Amino acid sequence: MNYFNKYRVVFWIMILMIVVNISAFTSFFFYYRANKTMVSDSASCSGTCRFLNEQLALNPGQADKVSAVNKQFRERTQSVVADIKNTRTALLDELALNEPDTLKLNQYTEHIGELQKKLQRAAVLQFQQLKEICTPDQCLKLSAIYSEVYGCPKMGQDTGKHRQQRFGKGQEDRGCGKNP
C-alpha cells in the first residue's frame, strides 16, 4: 500500500469523526436549550400546581389561574410557616431546660395555635378560590384531594374500629364529608 493512500484513509476517518462530534455537540446544545425552556415554563407551576393539573385535568386557562392562587397562598403563608417553626423551636428549647417555665410554654402553645388558625384560614380561602376555577366534576375531585390531605374519611367509607372506639356507642361520628 502506498504512503499517500494510507494517510488518505486516515484523513477521511478524521473528517468523519469531526462531523460526528459536531453533530453530537449541536444535538446536545439544542436538547439542553429546549429542556431549559421547558423547565422555566414549568417553574411558575410548583409541585402542588402540577399535581392539581394532572388530577383535575385542568385546561391551560384554569392551570394559569390555579398557579396564581397557589402563588398567593405561598406568599400569604410563608411567614406564618416560618413563625410556627421558630416558635416550635423556642418551645422545644424551653422544654429541654431542667426547669422549664410553664408560663412560657403556655405562651408558645397559644401562639402556635393562633398561627395554625391563620394557616387554616388561608387554606380555606385557597380551597374556595380553587373551587371557583373548577368545573363541578373537578370540584368533586378537588374535595376528595383535600379530604385525603386532611386525613378525613371519604363519604360512605367505613370508619373502622378505631373510630368506633373513639366515638363509642350512641355517639355520632361527625367526620369530614358528612352532614351534621
User: Model confidence at 84, in pLDDT bands (50, 70, 90)?
Assistant: very high
CA separation, residue 39 to residues 32, 45, 180 (Å):
10, 10, 46
User: Model confidence at 79, in pLDDT bands (50, 70, 90)?
Assistant: very high
Name the pTM for this structure.
Answer: 0.58
Of the candidates 80, 75, 76, 103, which has an alpha carbon nearest to the alpha carbon of residue 91?
Answer: 103
At what angle are helices 136-149 and 47-56 packed, to 10 degrees? 130
CA separation, residue 6 to residues 3, 115, 132 (Å):
5, 81, 76
Q: What is the pLDDT of residues 95-147, one digit of tens each?
A: 999 999 999 999 999 999 999 999 999 989 998 998 898 888 888 888 888 88
**What is the per-residue pLDDT for 2?**
63
